[in-house]
Structure 1
Amino acid sequence: MSSPMKTLLLSLFTYLLSAPILWASNTDTVQLHKHVLSLTTTNKARNHQNLQELNQAADYIKAEFTKLQGNVTEQVYKVNGTDYRNIILSSGPANAPLLVVGAHYDVCGNQPGADDNASGVAGLLEVARLLQNHTLPFRVDFVAYTLEEPPYFRTANMGSYVHAKSLAEQKAQVLGMVSLEMIGYFKEEKGTQRYPIAPMKLVYGSRGNYIAVVQRFGNGKFGRSFLRGFNQAATLPVKSLKAPAAIPGVDFSDHLNYWYFGFSALMITDTSFYRNTNYHQPGDTIYTLDFARMARVVDGVYQTILSLRI
């Protein structure tokens, strides 16, 4: 065999060893990119003060939901005399047990909010699209929340608080809730993953290359079932954290309000500021997101919901 041929074969062999494993994806990365781009390119940041841009984001989400099968509604409520809107797509029998999948569409301050949380909203829209042609034994409400960010975080003005309270008042049979909170930022380098408690690095590692499923203790059957399914379905590393809500970060999203009303809820996240140094900064742009791995997260959520037996 000639030397050039040996070199070519060696190069090919080396590539095959190092190339990423291909997987059959249902998720459309073009759609994910489109959604994030639409949400992050408003004239001003989509925060509680810029009502025109916040409503522009809500209108975009509503238009995307309207393309799908199901009932699209707005949950409008007032804060200091101003109307804010949760956008909801309900799919499945109205009286069936309910699964809630949610993500907030507002941002904190004056920044694009690509990972926080256009990534979660894009994932929400894509999961809704993927599930539209499936008949499930439960109803799914896909909810885009407003006012998750400061100054309304941990108040009754959060969109997720308003939604969770309405379910409690209806005495709805809620199977569980899944919060998609920052799902697009990944890093392979050592030292790119931080933790609220230093020894956690010994368990979870220092590379920010995984997606986390975060729950509190006592989260019930739904949490166990979803985690088991997600571990089987996901095609990227999954790490689970079940801890007291007092651990910083465990309750840092919309799922906390479902806990407040006694519902089982969990968060799927790239771990937010423990990994993404652009958190709540102007640098949180679309160019920092890994859409290939983000698609794997969305695919995992979709496949898990299909497999749920509760």
Structure 2
Amino acid sequence: MFACMLVFLALPGFATSLADTAIIKQHLTSITKTKDYRTHANIDQLNKTADYIKKVFSSYAEDVTVQKYKIGEHIYKNVICSFGVENKKRVVIGAHYDVCGNQEGADDNASGVVGLLELARLLKGKQLNYRIDLVAYTLEEPPYFRTEYMGSYVHAKYLAENKIDVYGMVSLEMIGYFKDEKKSQDYPLGMLSWFYGNKGDYITLVRKFGSGKFAKEFCKQFKSAAIKTKKFTGPEMLPGIDFSDHLNYWKFGFSALMITDTSFYRNKNYHEVTDTLETLDIFRMGKVIDGVLKALITLK
């Protein structure tokens, strides 16, 4: 019923980490250690976070834009920066910067956003086969989850309506929490532990059956990452498989996947005040970012 494969390869020439853990920690601190929380209701803090993301993006890319949309009297923002703009076909790497409730949201999802910021630094000056759009979304969390007000829905709809040539999309959804202890990993179906084990010591590439050529090729290229990686392919109805921004790209027919530490199936700080920077494994988070970079550079 489920396709699964364990891949754990460190290829020659890829042994040295490219992501900088000091920079990663600095960004995580700037985003999470704030006086207010970046919730849907706290427009000022959301805008401050969007401004910070834009400032970092602008230090590495000339092509930085803000996609604005209104809900009632409030304006919300997706922040986008692009590399390899000479290429027609593009790849979207996205992560949401809002949080659920009054908490730091270090893993959910400052980790994914910082992944975008560090990718921007690493992509500068690289020769690319595709245009790469890094997109920081607003409003992924409740009460807007699964609605047309999600930032990722607004972005995916724009791409579809303007017939933009999109190869595929990757959602970075919680990439910083790892545990090496036994029984630190849960699953939506208990039988999955037979295939994946009960230690939360890996990153997961999640896609649905029939997710398309891009998702398959990206997973193939990510195998060079120097981090324990497991690929999971399952039915769209399985709980958790669409719990992030990639679901909106599926809605518009784009090939998409999610990279995740499995969220609440491992990280019990999910949507709690305990989801703090201090709980994250920044070294392994950097390895995930390295894996995404290498996949983007080698995509065919």
TM-score by length of 1: 0.91
- Which structure has more RCO (C-alpha within 8 Å, separation ≥ 6)? 2
2:24 equivalent in structure 1: 32
Letter matched to residue 198 of structure 1: G
Displacement of 1:132: 1.1
Corresponding position: 1:282 with 2:273 = yes
Corresponding position: 1:263 with 2:266 = no
- Please list every run of at least 4 consecutive aligned residues from structure 1 whose deviation after the TM superposition is greater than 4 angstroms: none
Letter matched to residue 105 of structure 1: Y
2:226 equivalent in structure 1: 235
Aligned mates of 1:170, 1:98 — CA distance in 2: 13
Aligned mates of 1:23, 1:221 — CA distance in 2: 28
Displacement of 1:69: 2.4
1:69 equivalent in structure 2: 61
Cα deviations by residue, 1:19-51 (Å, 9 ceiling, x for unpaired): xxx941111111110111111012111011111
1:4 equivalent in structure 2: none
8 Å contact kept, 1:70–1:92: no
Cα deviations by residue, 1:37-86 (Å, 9 ceiling, x for unpaired): 11101211101111111111101000000101231110000012210000
User: What percentage of residue pairs aligned between the two structures are identical?
Assistant: 56
Letter matched to residue 295 of structure 2: T
8 Å contact kept, 1:45–1:111: yes
1:57 equivalent in structure 2: 49
Displacement of 1:93: 2.5
Question: Does 77-86 or 22-31 show the bigger shift?
Answer: 22-31
The residue correspondences of 1:215-254 to structure 2 (distance < 5 A) are 215-231=207-223, 233-254=224-245
Displacement of 1:244: 1.1
Displacement of 1:220: 1.3
Letter matched to residue 243 of structure 2: F
Cα deviations by residue, 1:186-224 (Å, 9 ceiling, x for unpaired): 000000000000100111000000000000110111111
Point out the structure with max Rg over C-alpha.
1
8 Å contact kept, 2:87–2:129: no
Corresponding position: 1:167 with 2:155 = no
Aligned mates of 1:69, 1:278 — CA distance in 2: 34
Corresponding position: 1:121 with 2:113 = yes
1:299 equivalent in structure 2: 290
Displacement of 1:95: 5.8
Counterpart of 2:190 in 1: which secondary structure? coil
Aligned mates of 2:83, 2:157 — CA distance in 1: 20
8 Å contact kept, 2:127–2:297: no
Aligned mates of 1:29, 1:303 — CA distance in 2: 17
Q: Structure 1 residues 114 and 173, CA, compared in 2 at 3 Å: closer, same or farther?
A: same
Question: 5+ unaligned residues in a row in structure 2: which ranges?
Answer: 1-13
Aligned mates of 2:287, 2:84 — CA distance in 1: 25
Letter matched to residue 150 of structure 1: P
Corresponding position: 1:156 with 2:140 = no
Cα deviations by residue, 1:231-280 (Å, 9 ceiling, x for unpaired): 1x211111111111110110000000000000000000000000000000
8 Å contact kept, 2:129–2:297: no
Aligned mates of 1:269, 1:301 — CA distance in 2: 12
Counterpart of 2:184 in 1: which secondary structure? coil
Aligned mates of 1:135, 1:229 — CA distance in 2: 16
Letter matched to residue 185 of structure 2: Q
Counterpart of 1:34 in 2: which secondary structure? helix
Question: 5+ unaligned residues in a row in structure 1: which ranges?
Answer: 1-21
Aligned mates of 1:73, 1:193 — CA distance in 2: 39
2:194 paired residue among 185, 188, 202: 202
TM-score by length of 2: 0.94
Aligned residues: 287
Aligned mates of 2:100, 2:43 — CA distance in 1: 13
2:179 equivalent in structure 1: 187
Q: Structure 1 residues 155 and 94, CA, compared in 2 at 3 Å: closer, same or farther?
A: farther
Displacement of 1:128: 1.6
1:214 equivalent in structure 2: 206
